[in-house]
Amino acid sequence: MKRTEAIELPAEEIAHQRALMREFAALESRPHTYCVVTYGCQMNARDSETLEGMLSEMGMTPAASREEADFVIFNTCCVRDNAQRRALGNVVWLKELKKTRPELMVAVCGCMMQQPGMGEQILRQYPFVDVAFGTHNLYRFAQLMLQAVRTRRRVVEVLGDDEGSIPEELPVRRSSPTHAYITIMYGCNNFCSYCIVPYVRGRERSRASARILEEARQLKDEGIKEIMLLGQNVNSYGLDVEGELSFAQLLAALDGVGIERIRFMTSHPKDLSDELIEVMATGKHICHALHLPVQHGSDRILASMNRRYTRERYMERVRALRERVPDVSLTTDLIVGYPGETEEDFEQTCDLVRQVGYDSAFTFIYSPRVGTRAADMPGQIDEATSSRRIQKLIAVQKEITRERFAGYIGQVHSVLVDEVSKRDETQVAGKNEYNITVNFPGSRELIGQIVRVKITSAGESTLRGELAQQ
């Protein structure tokens, strides 16, 4: 059932939380410096910018290092087992440090914490963790910290799915002067069989388009050159709210704001509409780069994954996109070793990758997540087979990337300069419109500018060039 408006937290609640941030800042004995450790996707990176905004309003400043911080918070990911192990490994590392610095405060939040039973596990197994919370109560961070400091007792709070209202007007500390993330929606309704995200990020909730447009205008005024629109599945933006803009309409409206570059992720192929393709083709500021996760090349496996498109439908969308946006740079996500995957299924993935010709691909070995349908499926693939398959797939894609990148030589691209090369002070680097890193001779003064660069050579994952006539 569609909502009549975006499901926002009441303004009074946000005002209350901001008052608690100031109350925290006024405390005599409290941590003064912080370190935020972020794992996982860009949505987590955006949440960490909100965490840093709240920590600043709580009177805290970034520490020079994790070891020196009075307060360390881990914003975790659980999309794959190794992401969760890495986070927990780093949390445990602080146990020793806390023995020498008992006043050190430690917190854990994010997707890993939202998993059923994780709160209790933290309480039982990690006695040195002071505060832990999930993805639906990030906005209550100051309240939980105040409680922990005042009571000197541990605070663990994980809210249920139905409490996933959208917090607007929380403070934010952006991580770049030229790039900015704008979260346009939260959650996912797709329940792909291997994916834990719908269980830890909740149902799809779109932000009000008026809020998103206002945020973009503010960012433009602050000199931001590039925005990345974020959502688990941005293509279904607005579908949960009566009368709200569609994603294509939102993109067209944002194009009118005049920020030089607009990117978005992640797109689900089943919702890649002709309307969206048309806006990409005609938009003035929309980058011709699309991340379109296919995950697998076999229809049998795609059906088992509950991806709700066939290989042929995916290829049809790719053809439709390339017809209207011939220079589009396509990237994707691919899983090998999914339960029941035969050698023939795997070869279909390799074949699809050759057919599409992606600029690059993120390849993953299937990782069973407790609570997902695929985790209990028969036919789990052994590690040796999965490793052999992923090595082959990486080699197939590497060859394609080499050919695609060679095709860029001689072209002139626009590059948003981000930094001076770490290895060579006379070189600068930045992303071109296809989201590929380009290195070229230039000075620090170019940072933050969009310049024209002629591509002269191609590396395995980056391009090289020289400044062209501006």
Amino acid letter for position 377: M
For residue 324, give both structure tokens. 């209207």
Applying CB under 6 A, among 17, 233, 397, 401 the residue interacting with ligand SF4 is 233
CB 48 within 8 A of CB 8: no
CA dist 436 and 430 (Å) reads 8
For residue 156, give both structure tokens. 């663990």
CB of 174 to ligand SF4, least distance (A): 25
CB closer to ligand SF4, 94 vs 294: 294
Give the neighbor-by-neighbor strand order of the sheet with 61-62.
Answer: 61-62, 33-38, 71-76, 105-110, 131-133, 155-157
CB of 50 to ligand SF4, least distance (A): 20
CA dist 329 and 404 (Å) reads 9
Applying CB under 6 A, among 144, 197, 330, 390 the residue interacting with ligand SF4 is 197
Amino acid letter for position 166: I
**Residue 199: which of 233, 167, 231, 160 has the closest Cα?**
160
How many C-beta atoms lie closer than 10 Å to residue 45's C-beta?
Answer: 17
Q: Which residue has the tokens 């070229």?
A: 440
* Binding range to ligand SF4, per CB under 6 A, among 117-125, 126-134, 159-167, 191-199: 191-199
CB 402 within 8 A of CB 355: no
Applying CB under 6 A, among 171, 198, 283, 339 the residue interacting with ligand SF4 is 198
* Binding range to ligand SF4, per CB under 6 A, among 172-180, 183-191, 312-320, 400-408: 183-191
CB closer to ligand SF4, 195 vs 286: 195
User: 117: alpha, beta or left, given left = phi > 0 and alpha = psi -120 to 50?
Assistant: left
Applying CB under 6 A, among 84, 137, 232, 331 the residue interacting with ligand SF4 is 232
CB of 188 to ligand SF4, least distance (A): 3
Binding mask 62-101 for ligand SF4 (x = CB under 6 A): ----------------------------------------
Decide if residue 40 touches ligand SF4 (CB under 6 A): no
Residues 6+ apart with CB under 8 A from 63: 33, 34, 35, 69, 70
CB of 247 to ligand SF4, least distance (A): 14
Applying CB under 6 A, among 5, 95, 123, 191 the residue interacting with ligand SF4 is 191
Residues 249-288 that bind ligand SF4 (CB under 6 A): 268
CB of 332 to ligand SF4, least distance (A): 12
Residues 6+ apart with CB under 8 A from 168: 8, 9, 11, 14, 207, 211
Return residues touching ligand SF4 (CB under 6 A): 188, 190-192, 195, 197-198, 232-233, 268
